[in-house]
A and B are shown apart, each in its own frame.
Chain A
Amino acid sequence: MARISLGNVCKSFKGLKVIKSVSLTVEDGEFCVFVGPSGCGKSTLLRMIAGLEDVTSGQILIDDQDVTKLEPFDRQLSMVFQSYALYPHLTVRQNIAFALETAKQPKEVIECKVAEAARTLKLEDYLDRRPSALSGGQRQRVAIGRAIVREPRAFLFDEPLSNLDAALRGETRVEIASLHKSLAATMIYVTHDQVEAMTLADRIVVLNKGEIMQVGSPRELYEHPGNVFVAQFLGSPRMNLIDAASDGEAGVMLPGNQRLDIGQRSPENIRTVGVRPEQISITDDGDAAIKGTIKLCEYHGSVLSLIVDAGPMGDISVLAPSAGALVEGARVSLDLPADALHFFDELGHRVTPSAQA
């Protein structure tokens, strides 16, 4: 297995910059997820690593070997495509064996490895079928089987689950996670789905418009988003953002001239306060900084998802225990705990309040 490094990698399509100087190292054995909105360049970045797309500038190293100019077949990576890309004229067995045959492995070895991959992926009963006679989930597993049957230096996945229905997606996600554990392989996984990113990743790379927004473990990114984009991209419902300004002391001024105590000296350059919906609680405190009317109340079973119209502060989403007796139209006060607040400056970067008040 291998370590993959990108150094100032750029990509333009006919003068249009799609990837803007990305530098990143994916460690040996790491499960790294590229996540970002659709069109942000995730696939392009992955395809450059694969060798399917040439690099406009910058370099790509695999285990310190410069592969920037190498063809895909010389990079020894496996890739699972979003569309599966199974060879329609070959049986499942031949599909899985294709890479091994290409590598001219002995027949017995091929047979043995195909059987093992089929067992791992529960494909034994389908080995002699053509892809057109398989369901979506089975096709997906064949695509994965084709990738794991040889020992590549790393696995690349491009949105492998996006064509599956919700139940199957959850199941396959778990299978991929356990595959990563058992193979101890370097994996780079592209998705636009933050749940997949959060659950699978050792490390998440958040991309937006061809640039890295932040890199870190799921917990780091969720608890300490480095900027407004990451803060809002991860988490559902999205983090609430409220305009704010420092009051020069241990508080911020919110729209409507409401003061919110933050328990620390507030930095001068604060422009926005962020708070996640699940960290807001509904209180009886009549002095709370934020009051509003429940505009929408959705019952989700385990929680109630509320949208509270908080006047000058706009709409605020709140997750409340579903046991509460909240109804649309009710007046509520919101409690924003000081330690749950995130602060951002005018460029959207995170600012950390200094400890001394």
Chain B
Amino acid sequence: MKPHVILRWFVFVTAALVMNFPVIATFITALKAPAEIARNPSLVVHNPTIENFVTVLTVSDRLNIYHYLWNSLIAASIGSILPIVVAFPIAWAIVRRGYGRNILFPLVVNLRALPLVIFAVPLYLMFSVVNLLDTRLGLGLVLAVVNLPLALMLLVNAVAEIPIELEEAARMDGARLPRLILRIVLPLCRPAFITTFVFGFITAWNEFLFGLILTTQKAVPMTVGASFFFATSGGGVQWGVAAAVMIVAALPPLLLGLIMYRKITGSMVSGAVKG
């Protein structure tokens, strides 16, 4: 290898290590026994152990990671699918009919700029009235609101990208609105649905604040549940267990991202118009 090639690889590897250092450090810590954590802060593990993972994955009378995972799965699913269901018709109406293009759309998109915590107190009060406190549905609904701006933005772009002639051709072919939407618009928006779902799911899964405020027991999501592991049996923070639970909690969105990665990119409309 020529020197500049070696240099280039050296820079790449260094950059990769530096940027991923927190992840690497967490993973390595998860493999260390408590005694080793106390005296060996280096990245080299002398006696790797899966003890921490076993602790995390074992159901105790106080902590049940499967319960948290399940809550997160349900809430994040509601929080990522519902915005798509709601935003898709709105996106079509905004793009094709111009409804709300001047006020509603900018308003919803700017919702992202607000710190959502300002909704926390009114939401808590409302939820307690309608019995949605500490329910997976309640948490899912709030996460849906969190994801709505992004969903609307992505879907508005997706609909706008469909050449209007396709919809006109379908109407000339006799298709009324339902068939037009189901057979033409919906399939062409599929990549955008997947993108919206993946981003939405990851955001919802990682959400902490509303999970903390709106749940206490039955619907505690993984992010909040993970914090319970930090100080289990009286003493200080068990760093090995904490690291292991973080790794486990991070796996589902990571896997989802990896599986869906290929489907996110790519447009559906090639070949529709012109050469």
Residues of A within 8 A of B174 (CB): 73, 76, 99, 102-103, 150
Residues of A within 8 A of B168 (CB): 50, 52, 72, 79, 81, 85
Contact between B172 and A79, CB atoms less than 8 A apart: yes
Roughly how many angstroms separate A130 CA and B268 CA in the complex, as a whole number? 11
Residues of B within 8 A of A83 (CB): 163, 165, 272-274
A73 → B minimal CB distance (Å) = 5
Are A102 and B188 also in contact (CB < 8 A) when A83-B274, A86-B272 are? no
A14 → B minimal CB distance (Å) = 13
User: Does B120 have its Cβ within 8 Å of any Cβ on chain A?
Assistant: no
B 99-151 contacts with A by CB, 8 A? none
B 244-275 contacts with A by CB, 8 A? 268-275
Contact between B169 and A85, CB atoms less than 8 A apart: yes
Are A87 and B275 also in contact (CB < 8 A) when A102-B174, A132-B270 are? no
* A72, A76, A79, A88 interface centre (most CB from chain B within 10 Å): A88
Roughly how many angstroms separate A88 CA and B165 CA in the complex, as a whole number? 12
Contact between A88 and B169, CB atoms less than 8 A apart: no
User: Does A208 have its Cβ within 8 Å of any Cβ on chain B?
Assistant: no
Closest to B175 in A: A102
Contact between B187 and A89, CB atoms less than 8 A apart: yes
Roughly how many angstroms separate A266 CA and B184 CA in the complex, as a whole number? 64
Residues of A within 8 A of B187 (CB): 89
Are A163 and B274 also in contact (CB < 8 A) when A88-B268, A89-B268, A102-B179 are? yes
Residues of B within 8 A of A98 (CB): 170, 173, 175, 183
Residues of A within 8 A of B268 (CB): 88-89
Residues of A within 8 A of B169 (CB): 79, 81, 85-87, 146
User: Does B166 have its Cβ within 8 Å of any Cβ on chain A?
Assistant: yes
Closest to A137 in B: B275
B121 → A minimal CB distance (Å) = 46
Are A77 and B272 also in contact (CB < 8 A) when A83-B163, A83-B165, A87-B184 are? no
Binary contact track A101-131/B, C-beta < 8 Å → 1, others 0 = 0110000000000000000000000000011
Roughly how many angstroms separate A134 CA and B184 CA in the complex, as a whole number? 20
Residues of B within 8 A of A150 (CB): 174
B 163-200 contacts with A by CB, 8 A? 163, 165-166, 168-176, 179, 183-184, 187-188
Residues of B within 8 A of A285 (CB): none
Roughly how many angstroms separate A83 CA and B269 CA in the complex, as a whole number? 13
Residues of A within 8 A of B166 (CB): 85, 87-88
A 118-171 contacts with B by CB, 8 A? 130-134, 136, 139, 146, 150, 163
Residues of B within 8 A of A344 (CB): none
Closest to A136 in B: B275
Closest to A71 in B: B171
Roughly how many angstroms separate A87 CA and B171 CA in the complex, as a whole number? 12
B125 → A minimal CB distance (Å) = 47
Binary contact track A81-96/B, C-beta < 8 Å → 1, others 0 = 1011111110000000
Please name the 4 residue pairs, one residue from A and one from B, whose CB atoms are nearest each other, closest first.
Answer: A132-B271, A83-B273, A85-B165, A131-B271
Q: Which positions in A face B, CB cutoff 8 Å?
A: 50-52, 71-73, 76-79, 81, 83-89, 98-99, 102-103, 130-134, 136, 139, 146, 150, 163
Question: Can you sample 28 A-B contacts with CB below 8 Å?
Answer: A50-B172, A51-B171, A71-B171, A72-B172, A73-B171, A73-B175, A77-B172, A78-B172, A78-B173, A81-B165, A83-B163, A83-B273, A84-B272, A85-B166, A86-B272, A87-B169, A87-B184, A87-B272, A88-B269, A98-B170, A98-B173, A99-B173, A99-B174, A102-B174, A133-B271, A136-B275, A139-B271, A150-B174
